[in-house]
Structure 1
Amino acid sequence: MEQSWEEAVRWYRAAAEQGMPRAQCNLAWCYEYGKGVEQNWKRAVHWYRQAADQEDPRGMFCMGICCKYGRGVEQNWEEAVHWYRRAVDAGSAAAMCNLGVCYERAKAGSGTPRRQPGGTDRRRSGRTRPPSATWDICMRPERV
């Protein structure tokens, strides 16, 4: 069998449309990274939200990332924290870490990040993180 992202998307979509959260997240990831489909953040968010609305920890975690960075939705740290908290309640260790990062980077009481636009962290002036920083990934499609 040869690798085929297009064929993977076809099967992820079939399962996602039947309401399977894991397939919804995998399909969202394909839209996020343009694997087998044209990259489309709005569609990625749609499928992550479908999974999140079913209390799927990965879907909620990924919704937090989308809100934190403004990918497919308006950037909103408070909404990101909301999704991370829900994912933590569902047992996501990755969300625990990202929630900690949100608290670390928030100004006291304001909920706004101490990060300058463009990803530059004032504590590391001049250094930037790539847009898809590895510490906050939406994880590759899960394997059986």
Structure 2
Amino acid sequence: MPNMSPSVAAAPPAAQSSVSPFESAAGGNGTSVIGTDLTIMGQKITIISQNKLTIDGDVHGDIHGRQVVIGEEGSVIGTVNAETIEVHGGVKGAIRAATVTLHPTAQVEGDVTHKTLAISEGAQFDGRVRRAKDAAELKPNLDVSGFETIRMKALTNGS
């Protein structure tokens, strides 16, 4: 006969983030979003995303990532370099990716270097198109190792 005595389960531990604000969640598959209320600008700005980055706001700087989506409300003035790039909004600058898709609402002014390119009817494009000769010229720079010292200083000063 099974034991019928009541058992008390231990309460689950409180949820804690396993990643500090200064650590990267490398290997994750989340999406980072630059919202419609956000404008990022400055000298020599570079945004690096290890996963998917959706831009619905305005960026004046360069972007490197695995997958970059520029939403209908989004705009980038600078170079966009990723494995895949989808443009629904505006880009003024160079685009480099293995796969580039310009959707009907896209407005692009700049050169596109690609392996595969799709331009939907209605997309506005003013620039030159060139198929990459080798994959290395399309590879985004996702190396953030130079930021480790900044993270470590922030962690030790914040303790």
Q: TM-score, normalised by structure 1?
A: 0.32
Larger Rg: 2
Higher relative contact order (CA 8 A, sep 6+): 1
Structure with the largest fraction of strand: 2
TM-score by length of 2: 0.30
Task: Select the structure that is richer in helix.
Answer: 1
